Amino acid sequence: MYTLEDLAEAKAELCTWLGRFDRYTGNNPQKYQSNIRTAQRKVSVIESSLRAVGAIPLSAVELLEKELDAAFPNAQNKQIVEYNGRNFQRRYWPVEKSRSGKSVVKWGKFWAEISLDV
């Protein structure tokens, strides 16, 4: 189980790698990128874990998305659902792409409120 101190350390490590990349003056655009991605993943995992146990409070949007995920766990991309008299659409976007940029390594998802005006 993670603590808030673990999160602070992970964010500091991420800032360190980003700072090294910012100060880098060489000719390699991929320099430090694997370290940065690893640090970003670590921050993301720790934040998710702390939100799951309640150490970091969820915002109103995150609570609504959690309810929608529980009510519609198998919703596909662009699927429209009705929840509490409101319409929502499930959407996905690429969070992380491969080094070549041609394939998606990790997908993100969210619910967008929409109006169905005919």
Residues with Cβ within 8 Å of residue 100, at least 6 apart in sequence: none
Predicted confidence (pLDDT) per residue in 71-81, tens digit = 999 999 999 99
| Rounded Cα gap, residues 9 and 43, in angstroms | 9
Tens digit of each residue's pLDDT (9 = 90 or more) over 82-117: 999 999 999 999 988 888 889 998 899 999 999 877
Same domain (yes/no): 11, 40: yes
- The distance from CA 37 to its chain's CA centroid, rounded to whole angstroms, is 13
The domain in which residue 41 lies consists of 1-57
Number of domains in the chain: 2
Instruction: Tell me which of 57, 72, 104 is where a domain ends.
Output: 57
The whole-number pLDDT of residue 96 equals 85
| Rounded-to-integer distance, Cα 49 and Cα 55, Å | 9
Same domain, 43 and 89: no
Q: What is the pLDDT of residues 24-45, one digit of tens each?
A: 999 998 899 999 999 999 999 9
Is there a single domain that holds both residue 75 and residue 53? no
- Quick one: 20 and 35 in the same domain? yes
Q: Report pLDDT for 118.
A: 60
Please indicate, yes or no, whether residues 3 and 34 belong to a single structural domain of this protein: yes
Q: Which residues fall within 8 angstroms of residue 116, CB to CB, at 6 or more apart?
A: 80, 87
pTM of the model: 0.74
**Mean per-residue pLDDT, 56-62:** 92
d(CA 43, CA 1): 14
Last residue of a domain, one of 32, 57, 82: 57
Q: What are phi and psi of 61, to 5 degrees?
A: -65, -45
